[in-house]
Amino acid sequence: MVKWFWWLVLSLAAAEDFRSRRISLELLAAGLVLGSVRLTAMIAAGSNVSTHLWALGIGVIMLILSRATRGAIGEGDGLFFLLTACFLNLGETVIFFLASLAVSCLWGICCIAKGLYTGQSRWKESIPFLTCAWLPGLWIIWR
């Protein structure tokens, strides 16, 4: 049930990312609050959350890369992966990230192919990463 909430947040963020190439902080904050409550409850129940803490590293690395690339990698994407670590363990987060990266690579190849076909340069076109993450996210909650 909790993963469905995570996927709902992902769906809303993916739609925002597709429309405006931005993700609202309010949406991310709402997801992070519920994720934090979940992790706190897991700790109180004596569950091992170390794998979730390790999963935070993906979000942290994305935030560092966002700064290093001056926003070429969106800060909202990094924040979403911090939120994701509250809901998914390290293995699930890595699989989700890599599958999302694969979808975004396919999207990029399609953009390049379209540019070659139409004769227009597409090199400056941005790819909404969380939109690419939507399908892998659906796969994660169904598997």
Whole-number pLDDT of residue 15: 96
Whole-number pLDDT of residue 111: 86
For the chain of 143 residues, list the mean pLDDT of each consecutive stretch of 10. Answer: 89 94 92 91 90 93 93 89 94 96 93 84 80 95 87
Task: Find the domain containing 120 and state its range.
Answer: 2-142
- SS3 for the chain is CHHHHHHHHHHHHHHHHHHHCCCCHHHHHHHHHHHHHHHHHHHHCCCCCHHHHHHHHHHHHHHHHHHHCCCCCCHHHHHHHHHHHHHCCHHHHHHHHHHHHHHHHHHHHHHHHHHHHHCCCCCCCCCCHHHHHHHHHHHHHHC
Query: What does the block give as tokens for 96?
Result: 């989700």
Whole-number pLDDT of residue 113: 87
At a CB cut-off of 8 Å and minimum separation 6, what does 21 contact? Answer: 74, 126, 128
Report the number of distinct structural domains present in the chain: 1
